[in-house]
Amino acid sequence: MSAQYFADCVLKELKNLDPQSDFLQVRARGKTAVLGYEDQSEWVPIFRIAGGSGAYNVADLQVRHRTTWQPTFIRGVPAVLAKQLASELRFIWESHICEHEGWGINSDQEH
């Protein structure tokens, strides 16, 4: 299973679990794929799916921390990764929704 296909499966499962995640996109390179989004024509990476085993169709989920990737210690098939993204890790990508829609910390808009 290619990184692109695996990540597409994760994203499809995630969108079924939480429609608010529809702003996330996939970019794959080699054996890794990144979930992120375009913001004013700049790519913003959030999660990386890496270290997969094609034989078992499992991969590790990593999270972007400043300029490096940190492990989440979550490993599994696309449905498992999507479930974790929709529950325990939801706050990470949800904060990006707020920034992406102009609800950042310095916003003058009411929350």
- pLDDT over threshold 80, residue 106: no
Q: In what order do the strands lie in the sheet with 25-29?
A: 25-29, 32-39, 42-53, 58-65, 68-76
What integer pLDDT is reported at residue 57 of this predicted model?
Answer: 82
| Bigger pLDDT: 24 vs 97 | 24
What integer pLDDT is reported at residue 51 of this predicted model?
Answer: 75
What integer pLDDT is reported at residue 54 of this predicted model?
Answer: 58
Strands 32-39, 25-29: pairing is antiparallel
For the whole model, what pTM was predicted? 0.82
| Angle at the Cα of 26 from the Cα atoms of 24 and 32, rounded to 5 degrees | 135
The C-alpha atoms of residue 51 and residue 39 are separated, in whole angstroms, by: 27
Q: Give the single-character DSSP code of 108.
A: -
What integer pLDDT is reported at residue 109 of this predicted model?
Answer: 43
Domain count for the chain: 1
**Does any domain span residue 51?**
yes
**Does any domain span residue 64?**
yes
**Does any domain span residue 23?**
yes
Write out the residue range of the structural domain in which residue 87 sits. 3-99
- pLDDT over threshold 60, residue 104: no
Percent of the chain with pLDDT over 70: 85
pLDDT digits (tens, 9 = 90+) for 49-78: 997 665 568 999 999 998 899 999 999 999
**Does any domain span residue 104?**
no
**Does any domain span residue 105?**
no
**Does any domain span residue 73?**
yes
**Does any domain span residue 109?**
no
Residues 6+ positions from 5 with CB-CB distance below 8 Å: none
**Does any domain span residue 76?**
yes
